[in-house]
């Protein structure tokens, strides 16, 4: 008979053991790294309620959980909050089910509406799969950075060729930075123009500080002012472009194409071959854009355990019920949008 599985709350003394377990697990994601949830706590103020499963005193599973107390939508437990991944990381199905059961019990004690696990192992009884909503895009790049251009689809290749005029002597330029504020300067207005509230700048700052050299921030500038930015992560065998924003001028000079292509080159030059384009909502503009780059979608499965809620939540700014808010947000003066954005963004973990 195998040893009993014991699930318990994470304590700070577990940090080294948690990191060792995550580092050794091939299925771990960026969002199982405690540096992510630490940044969420710094940026949004939400408490972490991580779980650890042990068998005979050894860690056999983990679940990073954020206790979200949303002013608009109430309480929830999310793994991982403000991310596109996370979920149960476990040695086997029995461990995953034990962690899932404990998470639901914790949710009941905290009086949450639901527990949402983004990917990971199936958490067992009490959870329903939420699929067909999102897809992820990952593709292996060539070993030679000079081969990336020909590896791209023909239409994207032509756009990259035009974008590379940024490298010529002119009013446009590119630089890398470690300053998240430089990126936020162009990212926040881009979100306002899309009708999306911007996250707190201190969240991006915490990510940049916590992940250090594992963060890559690239900026395209026009006359020395940023017009486009890309905030990416290096994680194991992949690079993950995560946040991108640009103004109208950037579209004219094809700064999006430039930033993605240059990141691909930097990745291959440092021996990283997987380009992880991340998650997009099926049928969205971002979904189509990633297909234009030659990436094929793979389904993403979330697991939702209802506690007080009666139906699966759709907490998403693209939800039609928020359409009026999106239209209003686009018309807000930028200073007001920047002030209100971090407050409203708390509701969309």
pLDDT at 34: 98
SS3 143: coil
- CB–CB of 342/200 below 8 Å? yes
Contacts of 282 (CB under 8 A, 6+ apart): 132, 133, 134, 135, 297
Q: Is the pLDDT of residue 234 over 90?
A: yes
Residue 282 within any structural domain of the chain: no
Is residue 62 domain-shared with residue 170, that is, in the same domain? no
* Confidence band for 1, pLDDT divided at 50, 70 and 90: very low
Is residue 199 domain-shared with residue 219, that is, in the same domain? yes
Residue 286 within any structural domain of the chain: no
Q: Is the pLDDT of residue 31 over 70?
A: yes
- What is the domain extent for residue 70? 5-133+300-313
Is residue 44 domain-shared with residue 160, that is, in the same domain? no
CATH number at residue 112: 3.40.630.30
Low-confidence winner among 97-101, 315-319, 343-347 (lowest mean pLDDT)? 315-319
Span 1-8, average pLDDT: 84
Is residue 204 domain-shared with residue 97, that is, in the same domain? no
Residue 152 within any structural domain of the chain: yes
pLDDT at 176: 94
Share of the chain above pLDDT 70, in %: 97
Residue 46 within any structural domain of the chain: yes
What stretches of the chain show up as alpha helix (H) in DSSP? 15-24, 34-44, 93-109, 148-151, 154-163, 180-194, 201-211, 248-252, 255-269, 285-292, 323-331, 334-345
Low-confidence winner among 183-192, 238-247, 278-287 (lowest mean pLDDT)? 278-287
Span 162-182, average pLDDT: 94
Question: pLDDT digit string (tens) for 318-347?
Answer: 666 667 777 787 888 888 888 888 888 888
Span 136-142, average pLDDT: 96
Question: pLDDT digit string (tens) for 247-281?
Answer: 888 989 999 999 999 999 999 999 999 999 988 88
| Measured distance CA(193)–CA(189) in Å, rounded | 6
pLDDT at 283: 82
pLDDT at 333: 87
Low-confidence winner among 68-72, 292-296, 323-327 (lowest mean pLDDT)? 323-327
The count of domains in the chain is 2
Span 64-90, average pLDDT: 93
Residue 89 within any structural domain of the chain: yes
Span 2-27, average pLDDT: 95
pLDDT at 348: 85
Is residue 115 domain-shared with residue 202, that is, in the same domain? no
pLDDT at 53: 98
Is residue 103 domain-shared with residue 172, that is, in the same domain? no
Q: Is the pLDDT of residue 70 over 60?
A: yes
pLDDT at 342: 84
* Confidence band for 316, pLDDT divided at 50, 70 and 90: low
Span 110-121, average pLDDT: 96
Q: Measure CA of the first residue to CA of the last residue in the chain; give whole Å.
A: 41
Query: Which pTM value belongs to this model?
Result: 0.93
Contacts of 121 (CB under 8 A, 6+ apart): 27, 87, 88, 89, 90, 93, 96
């Amino acid at each position: 008979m195998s040893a009993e599985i014991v699930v318990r709350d994470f304590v700070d003394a577990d940090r080294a053991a948690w990191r060792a377990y995550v580092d050794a697990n091939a299925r771990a994601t960026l969002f199982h790294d405690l540096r992510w949830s630490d940044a969420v706590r710094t940026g949004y103020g939400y408490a972490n309620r991580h779980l650890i499963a042990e068998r005979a005193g050894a860690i056999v599973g983990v679940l990073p959980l954020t206790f979200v107390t949303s002013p608009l939508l109430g309480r929830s437990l999310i793994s991982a909050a403000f991310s596109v991944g996370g979920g149960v990381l476990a040695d086997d199905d029995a461990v995953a089910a034990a962690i899932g059961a404990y998470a639901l019990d914790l949710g009941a004690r905290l009086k949450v509406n639901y527990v949402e696990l983004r990917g990971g192992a199936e958490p067992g009884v009490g959870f329903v799969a939420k699929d067909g909503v999102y897809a992820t895009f990952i593709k292996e790049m060539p070993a030679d950075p000079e081969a990336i251009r020909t590896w791209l689809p023909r239409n994207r290749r032509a756009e990259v060729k035009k974008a590379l005029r940024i490298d010529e002597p002119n009013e446009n330029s590119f630089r890398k930075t470690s300053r998240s504020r430089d990126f936020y300067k162009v990212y926040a207005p881009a979100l306002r123009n899309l009708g999306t509230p911007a996250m707190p700048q201190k969240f991006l700052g915490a990510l940049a500080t916590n992940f250090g050299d594992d963060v890559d921030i690239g900026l395209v500038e026009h006359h020395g002012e940023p017009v486009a930015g890309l905030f990416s992560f290096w994680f194991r065998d992949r690079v993950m472009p995560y946040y991108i924003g640009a103004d109208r001028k950037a579209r004219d000079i094809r700064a999006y194409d430039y930033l993605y292509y240059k990141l691909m080159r930097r990745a291959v030059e440092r021996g990283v071959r997987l380009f992880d384009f991340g998650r997009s909502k099926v049928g969205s503009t971002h979904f189509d854009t990633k297909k234009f780059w030659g990436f094929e979608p793979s389904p993403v499965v979330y697991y939702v355990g209802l506690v007080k809620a009666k139906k699966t939540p759709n907490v998403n700014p693209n939800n039609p019920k928020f359409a009026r808010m999106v239209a209003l947000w686009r018309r807000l003066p930028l200073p007001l949008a920047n002030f209100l954005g971090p407050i409203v963004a708390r509701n969309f973990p």
